[in-house]
Amino acid sequence: MPRAQGETTAQEVRIIDPRMFHTPRRTPIRGLSAAGLHYALRIADRKGDPRVSDATAIASFGYELGILKRIRRSGWWHAGVRDPESVAEHSLRVAQLAGLLAAEEGADPARAAYLALWHDTQETRTGDLPHTVKPYLTKPDPRQITADQTAGLPSAAGTSVRDAVDEYEAAESTEARCARDADKLEMLLQAVEYRDIGVQRVQGWIDSALQGLTTPTAQRVAEAALALSPLAWRDR
């Protein structure tokens, strides 16, 4: 059936490039709900509002961060783990451990956890690179990748991420040392968990973690973890 001039159907919606709000283009979209169509058109019509551009940039970065849920911790493939944990799963426990270590070390738990949350986010662009690539590749600069990732974010949001990555990489604050120790401690816990279900060649990961710990609390936790079953928390 012919449609009136200017009419937009549920099969067609203007999609806006955040860098080109003044030049919407039409792209067919299948299965778009009426509510989704209404929202997309409302956003498109607010093309002069900088808050729309900022929100779009954050949403776009949020989609990029979702890639971390699908990137596997590749080093475990070498140990025979067929389906290792994702970078996102690793990062969650790192952040939790960082907060706990910081609390015990007299530092700011929230800051330590925030640093830990961003420590591997660059892997959306590089993937998780195992240590065996060192002789062949120069390690990508996390600060540079983060700068590229956050270039389009609004000022406050972008600065918060770049500052967190810079502090983590500098490893000078107590919070950064706790976050970096949490990264190693999480790897140690994961190695013990894999060993407990029959993966044998994990000692190298355990030794590497132990050698890299710098805070007294992390060192004590690692020693305790090696003496425990991963199911010790169930024994009440």
What was the pLDDT predicted at 229?
Answer: 95
pTM summary value: 0.78
Of the candidate ranges 156-160, 177-181, 197-201, 219-223, the one whose mean pLDDT is the lowest: 197-201
What was the pLDDT predicted at 47?
Answer: 54
What was the pLDDT predicted at 131?
Answer: 87
What was the pLDDT predicted at 5?
Answer: 52
pLDDT in tens, 46-75: 555 667 699 999 999 999 999 999 999 999
3-state class of 15 per DSSP? strand
3-state class of 28 per DSSP? strand
| Residues 69 and 86: beta-carbon distance below 8 Å | yes
Q: Looking at the chain, how many residues does it have?
A: 236
Max alpha carbon distance in the chain (Å)?
75
Per-residue confidence at 27, pLDDT binned at 50, 70, 90? very low
Mean local confidence (pLDDT), 17-42: 48
- What's the chain's average pLDDT? 86
Per-residue confidence at 121, pLDDT binned at 50, 70, 90? very high
What was the pLDDT predicted at 21?
Answer: 40
What was the pLDDT predicted at 19?
Answer: 44
What was the pLDDT predicted at 38?
Answer: 54
The whole-angstrom separation of Cα 197 and Cα 221 is: 21
| Residues 71 and 123: beta-carbon distance below 8 Å | yes
pLDDT in tens, 128-170: 999 899 999 998 999 999 999 999 999 999 999 999 999 999 9
pLDDT at 25 over 50: no
Of residues 176 and 20, the one with the higher pLDDT is 176
The whole-angstrom separation of Cα 77 and Cα 104 is: 34
DSSP 136-155: TSPPP-HHHHHHHHTTTS-H
Mean local confidence (pLDDT), 193-215: 96
